[in-house]
Amino acid sequence: MTLVYCSIPDSKVNPLFEVFDGGDLILSSYRGIEAKLADVQIYFPDRERIADAKNALAAALEIVGVEADILVREVADEDWKYAYRRHFTTERASPRIIVHPEWEPKPEVNGGEIVITIDPGLAFGTGKHETTKACLQYIDEVAPRGGSFLDMGCGSGILSIAAQKLGFAPVAGFDVDEEAVAAARENARFNGEEIEFFRYGLGAKVRKDLGRADVVAANILGPLLVKFADEITAAAKRDLIISGILAEIYDDVLAAFTKRGFKEVSRKTIGEWTTGLLVRNED
| 184 SS3 class | helix
List all residues 6 or more positions away from 64 whose beta carbon is below 8 Å from its beta carbon.
Answer: 12, 15, 16, 19
pLDDT higher than 90, residue 8: yes
Q: Higher pLDDT residue, 179 or 215?
A: 215
Alpha helices in 117-219 (DSSP H): 130-142, 158-165, 178-190
Q: Where are the beta strands (DSSP E) in 45-148?
A: 71-74, 91-92, 97-101, 114-118
* Residues written for the chain: 283
| 215 SS3 class | strand
Res 84: pLDDT: 55
pTM to 2 decimals? 0.73
CATH class entry, domain 2-84:
alpha beta
Give the residue extent of every domain in the chain. 2-84, 129-280
d(CA 125, CA 95): 18
Q: Is the distance from CB of 117 to CB of 190 less than 8 angstroms?
A: yes
Summarize pLDDT for 73-84 with one digit per residue, the tens: 887 765 555 555
Res 45: pLDDT: 83
The CATH H-level superfamily of 129-280 is Vaccinia Virus protein VP39 (3.40.50.150)
Q: Is the distance from CB of 208 to CB of 231 less than 8 angstroms?
A: no
Q: Higher pLDDT residue, 78 or 248?
A: 248
Res 80: pLDDT: 52
